Amino acid sequence: MKTTAQVAVIGGGVVGCSVLYHLTKLGWSDVMLLERSDLTSGSTWHAAGGFHTLNGDTNMAALQGYTIRLYRELEDLTGMSCGLHHVGGVTLADNRDRFDMLLAERAKHRFMGLETEVVGPDEIAQIAPITNTEGVLGALYDPLDGHLDPSGTTHAYAKAARMGGATIETHCMVRETRQRGDGTWDVVTDKGTIHAEHVVNAGGLWAREVAAMAGVYLPLHPMEHQYIVTDALPEIYERDSEHPHVMDPAGESYLRQEGRGLCIGFYEQPCRPWAVDGTAWDFGHELLPDDFDKIEDSIAFAYKRFPVLERAGIKSVIHGPFTFAPDGNPLVGPVPGLRNYWSACGVMAGFSQGGGVGLMLAQWMIEGETERDVTAMDVARFPGWLTQEYTRPKVIENYQKRFSVAYPNEELPAARGLRRTPMYDLFDQMGAVWGAQFGLEVPNYFAKGDEPRSETPSFRRSNAFAATAREVATVRQGVGINEVHNFGKYRVHGPNARAWLDRIMAGRLPKPGRLSLTPMLSHKGRLIGDFTVSCIEEDTFHLPASYGGQAVHMRWFEQHEKPGVNIENISDSLNGFQIAGPKAGLVLQAATRADVSDMRFMDVRKLTIGMAPCIVQRVSYTGDLGYEIYCDPMYQRHIWDVLWNAGQPYGIAPFGMRAMMSLRLDKFFGSWLSEYSPDYTPAETGMDRFIAWKKDTDFIGRTAAEADRPTRKLCAFVVQADDADVQGYELIWLDGAVRGFCTSGGYSHHAKASVALGFLPTQSIAQGLQVEIEILGQMRPARLVTEPLFDPDGARMRG
């Protein structure tokens, strides 16, 4: 056996083999895969082998499209069969919301070049004749849907990898992974030790145990899953062509032809997590005992939807485990806190996603970054504090909701209430309707009087509309207050802090007492962060940014760490409030003895608020006059009392995230991962105005940013919408053709207008341009606007 390799991939399921193949495809041939048994010995061998493109995240859907198209390439390359059945498939919708979701998905697919179609009940009956279409409004038809032979496909990946120079060692159990001082790894197996520069954990059902060997916890959990294969059915074997797939979200089932009969699997509500205390090493090729009790209701529903099943005998039952992350998407990328250790785990749909996971991981390892935004599968999208006890209920919830409608405003109930600030009880008494961000409880809005204490999930305007309007009016007319607990915050200090930040950030660094806004760029010039940098003292900086980006940003900072610089994530150890609105200055003045009348826009000062030491910055994402007041959370309630009392003469009231997102639209401010994400560049989004082109520093991404000549640019639109606003990825039509897409949108309660942000080709952009935006399948006239809807000259914000 080889004793050195550039990469050691642990696990020979479909994912490990795909990673191995993609590493060779992108040019690394000294790569090795270690499998404790034979290839496919985890969840891979008992998969139903179905594949489809549908995924709530647009980039994930595109990568699923890549995976499916890859199979022909693999067959051509290796001469092996993947057992492909490209039969197409329909996903049914039997209520308005499900249909809305399919319309939204269809729009995204068109933008990604995927040829899905929305079809009506008559067409469904033609495409999938065993379906009882009673009560069905329509379906999304995807010609790419199909199924394959899981074992044949995994072996095809393996052969392709071997052809590219890779080595595969089966019956080679990894027992330990030990990191050396230089960041390389000793991978200890029962056949000897391999010294590898990089380790990839593709341990599937054993990914938790493999991660523990390196001292880390990966948030994933196996779930039991069952599908049934029927005896031959004349309705199937007498057809001229293979019956397509039918996904029935209402019945939580997927169905397809298997031989001369059918195969149907369920995502049942009474589902069960598997191997709660860890996966046994001797688990392998056995199945779990049949369990018809837990799928009883699902089967009863399936009989109604597919009456032919009632007459079908059962040929076999497959009941086995596979792993999920809390949101159902894979865990891919560099594991935070470790060097040269990569995750390719939690892949719950290996045959829809395995190719995309392999490609993205190989790009990340070899080229340093991926070609598209992979936040939806980044292992660092979850906080480091997650425990198995948090992960499990989220995974169960995700399994149960696998086929549910995913609403843009939905707040999921599992594992809630773990992380709260000292304001929680008070805000709760004030009517807070809670959301969760990165595990933290955040008020979305405040209900009053008889208003319900929960927001109805919807693709259209929700019951939060009136409360949001009220909170927006409070800010624009008087003063609003909310916590800054859901801002990511970093403290960078030390003798080399300025020089280090100057290289990491593309923007100008502020002088002591001032703030600046700056993008952070990847080496290829893509946006990987959007920061406010405040210089507290010459060698001490605070950087507020996205709360959800904490683990991703800290990973980047640590990868670029230098001596003389100390970088701390202080997101939860620094809290405070923001106050915003025309009366905010008066409230601040009443809360401190210091004279704040000369505090300019983008100033930062140490102030005593009440009795508490604070750092106060004059800036606000609401686009209004506003101040962010940061303090030790120990002072949180005291500062609240002081600000609340000071604000009484001006009608101070709390506002939540819904109002904040409406307020930012008045000024066309983009938001992280909608407008500003690794999918886009500074020049495309207008963030280039914050790049300090004149500074001498060779900041990361400079060369790429300088060479960038964008063909599309971010614009703002006022849309003639009635009950549904833009959410993201709606198509923009110009002269009868799709010319762009939206990044986000919503209702501006201040301007009483529906607002969208989105990309159009640079040469089309002109003030007043009339376009159409397709919202939930309906064409909405929209006008391109260049002047913000509030405070266009910035008098209020800067004055």
Ligand X SMILES: Cc1cc2nc3c(=O)[nH]c(=O)nc-3n(C[C@H](O)[C@H](O)[C@H](O)COP(=O)(O)OP(=O)(O)OC[C@H]3O[C@@H](n4cnc5c(N)ncnc54)[C@H](O)[C@@H]3O)c2cc1C
Regarding 91 and contact with ligand X (CB under 6 A), the answer is no
> Would you say 43 or 743 has its CB closer to ligand X?
43
Residue closer to ligand X (CB basis): 218 or 492? 218
Among 5, 13, 131, 253, binds ligand X (CB under 6 A): 13
The residue with tokens 């991978």 is: 187
Considering only residues 87, 125, 127, 173, which one is a binding residue for ligand X as defined by CB under 6 A? 173
The CB-of-678 to ligand X minimum distance in angstroms stands at 24
Size of the site for ligand X (CB under 6 A): 41
Stretch that binds ligand X, among 203-211, 306-314, 428-436, 583-591 (CB under 6 A): 203-211
- Quick one: CA dihedral 127, 130, 136, 140, positive or negative? negative
Q: Site for ligand X (CB under 6 A): which residue of 88, 334, 350, 544? A: 350
Scan residues 227-286 and list those touching ligand X (CB under 6 A): 227
Angle at 606 between CA 604 and CA 608, to 5 degrees: 135
Q: How far is the CB of 45 from ligand X (least distance, A)?
A: 7
| Smallest gap from residue 287 Cβ to ligand X (A) | 8
Instruction: Kindly tell me which of 225 and 618 has the beta carbon lying closer to ligand X.
Output: 225
Amino acid letter, 38: D
Residues near 778 by Cβ (< 8 Å), separated by ≥ 6?
Answer: none
Q: For residue 358, give the nearest of 375, 344, 341, 368 by alpha carbon.
A: 344
The residue from 88, 251, 261, 320 that contacts ligand X (CB under 6 A) is 320
**What is the Cα–Cα distance from 526 to 679, expressed in whole angstroms?**
7
* Beta bridge partner(s), residue 167: 32
Where helices occur in 421-549 by DSSP H, the ranges are: 424-429, 465-477, 497-504
For residues 125 and 299, which CB has a smaller minimum distance to ligand X in the complex? Answer: 299
- The verdict on 348 binding ligand X (CB under 6 A) reads yes
Q: How far is the CB of 193 from ligand X (least distance, A)?
A: 13
Contact call for residues 449 and 410 (beta carbons, < 8 A):
no
118 or 255, CB closer to ligand X? Answer: 255
Minimum CB distance to ligand X smaller for 335 or for 591: 335
Site for ligand X in 32-61 (CB under 6 A): 34-37, 41-44, 46-51
Residue from 7, 14, 377, 591 in contact with ligand X (CB under 6 A)? 14
Nearer to ligand X, 258 or 603 (CB): 258
Minimum CB distance to ligand X, residue 213 (Å):
8
Sheet arrangement for strand 314-324: 117-119, 138-142, 89-93, 245-248, 253-258, 261-266, 221-230, 314-324
Whichever of 229 and 484 has its CB closer to ligand X, that residue is: 229
Q: Which amino acid is at 140?
A: L
Task: Give CA–CA dist 56/407, Å, rounded.
Answer: 10
Q: Provide, rounded to whole angstroms, the least separation between the CB of residue 545 and ligand X.
A: 32
- Using the contact rule CB under 6 A, the part of the chain among 103-111, 201-209, 372-380, 633-641 near ligand X is 201-209
Q: Give the footprint of ligand X on residues 352-371 (CB under 6 A).
A: 352
State in angstroms the smallest separation of the CB of 15 from ligand X. Answer: 3
CB of 351 to ligand X, least distance (A): 3
Q: Minimum distance from CB of 371 to ligand X (Å)?
A: 22
Residue pair 609/569 in contact by the 8 Å Cβ criterion: no
Q: Is residue 309 within 8 Å of 248, Cβ to Cβ?
A: no
For residue 204, state whether it binds ligand X (rule: CB under 6 A): yes
Q: How many Å apart are CA 320 and CA 41, to the nearest integer? A: 12
Structural element, H or E, at residue 212: helix 207-213
β-bridge pairing 604-609 and 117-119: unpaired
Which of the stretches 85-93, 241-249, 349-357, 491-499 binds ligand X when contact is defined by CB under 6 A?
349-357
Count each helix (H run) and each strand (E run) in the chain, helices first.
20, 37
Minimum Å gap between C-beta 149 and ligand X is 11
Judged by beta carbon, residue 351 or residue 434, the one nearer ligand X is 351
Nearer to ligand X, 49 or 519 (CB): 49
548 binds ligand X (CB under 6 A): no
Least distance (Å) from ligand X to the CB of residue 228? Answer: 10
Q: Please state, in angstroms and rounded to a whole number, the distance separating the CA atoms of residues 533 and 72.
A: 49
Task: Give the number of other Cβ atoms within 10 Å of residue 220's Cβ.
Answer: 26
Q: What share of the chain is helix, strand, coil (3-state, %, to 5)?
A: 30, 30, 40
Residue 222 sits in the site that holds ligand X (CB under 6 A):
no
Nearer to ligand X, 65 or 321 (CB): 321
Burial letters 248-270, b for 16+ CB under 10 A, else e: bbbbbbbbbbbeebbbbbbbbee
> Footprint of ligand X on residues 706-735 (CB under 6 A)?
none
Quick one: 99 or 351, whose CB is closer to ligand X?
A: 351
Each residue of 104-125: b (16+ CB within 10 Å) or e? Answer: bbbbbbbbbebebebbebebbe
Of 343 and 421, nearer to ligand X (C-beta) is 343
| Shortest Å, Cβ 13 to ligand X | 2
3-state secondary structure of 15: helix
- Which residue of 12, 219, 244, 682 would you call a contact of ligand X, by CB under 6 A? 12
Give the span between the Cα atoms of 58 and 744, in whole angstroms: 13
Q: How far is the CB of 214 from ligand X (least distance, A)?
A: 11
Q: Is residue 216 within 8 Å of residue 384, measured between CB atoms?
A: no
Residue 203 lies near ligand X (rule: CB under 6 A)? yes
In the complex, least distance from residue 327 CB atom to ligand X, rounded to whole angstroms: 15
Q: Closest approach of Cβ 208 to ligand X, in Å? A: 10
**Is the separation of the CB atoms in 87 and 263 below 8 Å?**
no
- Please give the distance of CA 688 from its chain centroid, rounded to a whole number: 25
The answer to whether the CB of 65 falls within 8 A of the CB of 80 is no
C-alpha 244, offset from chain centre: 30
Q: Which is nearer to ligand X, 14 or 660 (CB)?
A: 14
Nearer to ligand X, 16 or 576 (CB): 16
- Of 60, 312, 347, 643, the one binding ligand X (CB under 6 A) is 347
What are the two backbone dihedrals, phi and then psi, of residue 152, each rounded to the nearest 5 degrees? Answer: -60, -40
In the complex, the residues that contact ligand X under the rule CB under 6 A are 10-16, 34-37, 41-44, 46-51, 173-174, 202-206, 210, 225, 227, 318, 320-322, 347-352
